[in-house]
Amino acid sequence: MPRVSIPDTDKIFDVNTGEILYDSLYDRGHELPHGCLSGSCGACRVEVLSGSENLMPPGVIEQNTIESLRMELKVENIRLSCRAKVTGDVTIRPIK
């Protein structure tokens, strides 16, 4: 079972393989920042500190949003928690 860690909160969550990151944490009582929850607004952006290989590759909608966020925020390992599917252990930090 994959684990999602959030260092700033010292929380670690066991999640199911293939679950959407935002949904899996919300179902376990932890709400990440969010907006539209469809991958367009970018409010649910997180920095992947480790385990980026343990997230399914981004789809077209997520990739387009990520590209515009990278230029704006100057952060490389951005994913959208409302779209990213977990396949293994990851450590994330919400980007404000």
Number of domains in the chain: 1
CATH code (residue 53): 3.10.20.30
Domain limits at 39? 3-94
Alpha carbons 68 and 76: distance in angstroms, whole number: 11
Which class for 43: exposed (0-12), middle (13-18), buried (19 or more C-beta within 10 A)? Answer: middle
> pLDDT tens string for the chain (96 positions)?
999 999 989 999 999 999 999 999 999 999 999 999 999 999 999 999 999 999 999 999 999 999 999 888 888 899 999 999 999 999 999 998
